[in-house]
Amino acid sequence: MYAIVDIETTGGKYNEEGITEIAIYRFDGQEVVDKFVSLVNPERPIQPFVAKLTGINNEMLRNAPKFYEVAKRIVEITEDCIIVAHNASFDYRILRTEFARLGYDYERQSLCTVELSQKLIPDQQSYSLGKLVRGLGIPLSDRHRADGDAQATVKLFKLLLAKDSDKSIVKNTVRLDPKRQLDNKLLLLLEKVPSITGVYYLHNEEGDIIYIGKSRNIKKRLNQHFTSDNKKSKVIQQEIENVTFEATGSELVALLKESEEIKRIKPAYNKALRKNTFTQALYKSIDKNGYINLHLGKIDYRKDVITVFTNRQQAKTYIHRWIEEFTLCEKLTNLDNSSGNCFKYTIKECNGACIKDESRIEYNNRVEKLLDLQSFKEKSLLIVDRGRSVDEQSVVVIEKGKFKGIAYTNLNYQITNQNVLKNIITPMEHNRDAHNIIQSYIRQNKKVKVVNLGN
């Protein structure tokens, strides 16, 4: 659990500042679950340049609550939380100073979004909150007011969590997580997980990730882990101390994240590679009469693979579907081995390419149309799918046939503006698994939006 904080102060000498406004958003890693925003009477004058910067003046604070009147609420909303702030050393120091004046020792762990941004979003012109979020296409209103800055920091931190491919933020969070009850351990862990689409991470007591999985319903999938009596599940049940998860909204994003993170993190109870996920491939050849022939076979990456399938039955189902959709010939797709014309020609559902009644140009044009739809080789595409909330979209970015990464966006210009898209994208590795996952997902989910950016 995180408490995302922004504080405005009076300015003045070091450790003599007073709080004039505070905003705290309690954030569970997926959404805001509580918030507290208030002006505060600092009981000392505001420096003129600060009043000009923030718009907060002494008169505005005359009837505002004093710090001791809001202290209890601050303690409660930040309990069992890690403090997150843009320049956390400042906000955390100010909080500790104010509590020390009350004789209370306020201690929390903290994370700084400036430091995280420098690591996860390098080469930005500036890491000041205003310039950074502007470059990332994150809306920011009421700059230099606690609530506006805190809301922007929530959005920034959400982006940083998505970009944290090594999961160093969540691993650190688990390690620092306050005391966890061990009675009914698995039941308690299950209660904290929602029924959403995403990737989940099982941690041991050191915070290390021992298993990564994905599901369209994380709670249901974890329940299967926790109730299974197979050997691996029983070992995991003994070792697991915490569960974290990342909502993806899109099943495609979940599949891609799971595949890449298993390879990168190499959890103890995951297979390093899923070699048997796709076993069959579609190939093409040109026969002696110049017609394009399609045929299925085991995957052989030494050949020019058009698309892949999990098994032969799935592959044949799609071939039959394409034969009807594109009026293809069963003989030229190697599903009819009889002599003479194919059966579909007899029932007038084939135009006769099998006996050269249809010209190879007309027939091949339809085959090429099918192949173009099934392959993104050399294409630049955006695959726009569900986001993590109603007003958000996920975007999978393909550039000249190569998978570049994923992004989340609330605004269309974040997609159409290439500079902004470049900043918000979480880079991911292009490999055969990613290519096959994307290809298979597009084929099986015709409603997904694919934006062709040209070659």
Q: Establish if 172 belongs to a structural domain.
A: no
Among 265, 296, 315, the domain-final residue is 265
Among 239, 265, 291, the domain-final residue is 265
Query: Per DSSP, what are the bridge partners of residue 385?
Result: 394
Q: Where are the alpha helices (DSSP H) in 78-112?
A: 88-101
Task: Report pLDDT for 62.
Answer: 87
Task: Report pLDDT for 140.
Answer: 83
Residue 155 and residue 15 share a domain: yes
Smallest Cα–Cα separation from 401: which of 432, 366, 370? Answer: 432
Q: Establish if 58 belongs to a structural domain.
A: yes
Q: Which of 111-115, 170-174, 280-284, 373-377 has the lowest mean pLDDT?
A: 170-174
| CA gap 394, 136 in Å, rounded | 15
Q: Are 299 and 287 in contact (CB under 8 A)?
A: no
- The distance in angstroms from the start CA to the end CA of the chain is 44
- Residues 285-322 have pLDDT tens digits of 999 999 999 999 998 878 888 888 888 888 888 999 99
Q: Establish if 168 belongs to a structural domain.
A: no
Residues 6+ apart with CB under 8 A from 455: 378, 379, 380, 400
Query: Per DSSP, what are the bridge partners of residue 409?
Result: 393
Residue 402 and residue 421 share a domain: yes
Residue 136 and residue 41 share a domain: yes
Strands (E), 355-442: 380-386, 393-399, 402-409, 426-427
Q: What is the CA radius of gyration of the chain?
A: 28
Query: What letter would DSSP give residue 250?
Result: S
CATH (domain of 30): 3.30.420.10
Strands (E), 371-448: 380-386, 393-399, 402-409, 426-427
- Residues 398-417 have pLDDT tens digits of 988 899 999 998 877 777 77
Q: Establish if 271 belongs to a structural domain.
A: no
Q: Which of 10-14, 20-24, 150-154 has the lowest mean pLDDT?
A: 10-14
pLDDT tops 60 at residue 86:
yes
Among 344, 374, 404, the domain-final residue is 374
Q: Residue 294 is part of which domain span?
A: 280-374
Residue 98 and residue 21 share a domain: yes
CATH (domain of 236): 3.40.1440.10
Given pLDDT bands bounded at 50, 70 and 90, which one contains residue 173? low
Given pLDDT bands bounded at 50, 70 and 90, which one contains residue 174? low
Average pLDDT over residues 84-88: 91
Helix (H, G, I), strand (E, B) or coil at 332: coil
Given pLDDT bands bounded at 50, 70 and 90, which one contains residue 8? very high
Task: Report pLDDT for 443.
Answer: 87
Residue 316 and residue 251 share a domain: no
Give burial (CB, 10 Å; 0-12/13-18/19+) of 346.
exposed
What total number of domains does the chain contain? 4
Residue 254 and residue 114 share a domain: no
Q: Establish if 186 belongs to a structural domain.
A: yes
| CA gap 332, 323 in Å, rounded | 10
Average pLDDT over residues 77-101: 90
Helix (H, G, I), strand (E, B) or coil at 409: strand
Percentage above 90 pLDDT, the chain: 38
Cα 375 to the center of its chain, rounded Å: 24
Element spanning 363, H or E: helix 360-374
| CA gap 333, 323 in Å, rounded | 8
Residue 242 and residue 369 share a domain: no
Average pLDDT over residues 91-110: 87
Q: Establish if 275 belongs to a structural domain.
A: no
Task: Retrieve residue 171's tokens.
Answer: 């691993």
Average pLDDT over the chain, rounded to an integer:
87
Say which residue, 152 or 421, is predicted with more confidence: 152
CA 344 to each of CA 336, 349, 356, 357, 363: distance values in angstroms, whole numbers, following the listed order: 10, 5, 14, 13, 15
Task: Report pLDDT for 78.
Answer: 93
Smallest Cα–Cα separation from 146: which of 37, 65, 44? Answer: 37
Average pLDDT over residues 26-39: 91
Given pLDDT bands bounded at 50, 70 and 90, which one contains residue 181? very low
Q: Establish if 101 belongs to a structural domain.
A: yes
Residue 151 and residue 58 share a domain: yes
| CA gap 193, 217 in Å, rounded | 10
For residue 261, the number of C-alpha atoms closer than 13 Å in the C-beta half-sphere is 27
Residue 56 and residue 117 share a domain: yes
pLDDT tops 70 at residue 183:
no
pLDDT tops 60 at residue 180:
no
Task: Report pLDDT for 451.
Answer: 85
Average pLDDT over residues 117-135: 87
Residue 384 and residue 369 share a domain: no
Residue 159 and residue 17 share a domain: yes
Residue 405 and residue 341 share a domain: no
Given pLDDT bands bounded at 50, 70 and 90, which one contains residue 73? very high
Q: Establish if 209 belongs to a structural domain.
A: yes
